[in-house]
């Protein structure tokens, strides 16, 4: 075999390996984009937003304050 044939074969194999690797990376990036998009769509329906949580906690604190006020009034009698 001539040296040029060996070099051409090695370069061809290198390009084939690089092409395969590039395709694997491309597919992984596309799958990650799909996963992130699905997460963006599902996240608001699965988890409570911060402002909703703050509002709910405010309501609970108000109810507890009323209960404590009634208990304090009851204990004073």
What's the rounded Cα separation, in Å, for the pair 77 and 63?
A: 22
- Structure confidence at residue 30 (pLDDT): 98
- Same domain, yes or no, for 76 and 65? yes
- Same domain, yes or no, for 34 and 64? no
Number of folded domains that form the chain: 2
- Same domain, yes or no, for 40 and 52? no
Predicted structure pTM score = 0.53
What confidence tens digit (pLDDT) does each residue in 10-63 have? 999 999 999 999 999 999 999 999 999 999 888 877 788 888 899 999 999 999
Q: What is the 3-state secondary structure (H, E, C) of the chain?
A: CCHHHHHHHHHHHHHHHHHHHHHHHHHHHHHHHHHHHHHHHHHHHHCCCHHHHHHHHHHHHHHHHHHHHHHHHHHHC
Contacts of 65 (CB under 8 A, 6+ apart): none
Range of the domain at 33: 1-46
């Amino acid at each position: 075999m001539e040296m040029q044939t060996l070099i051409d074969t090695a370069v061809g194999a290198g390009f084939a390996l690089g092409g395969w690797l590039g395709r694997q990376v491309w597919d992984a990036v596309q799958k990650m984009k799909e996963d992130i998009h699905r997460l963006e769509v599902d996240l608001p329906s699965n988890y409570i937003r911060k402002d909703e949580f703050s509002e709910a906690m405010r309501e609970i604190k108000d109810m507890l304050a009323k209960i404590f006020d009634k208990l304090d009034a009851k204990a004073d009698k």
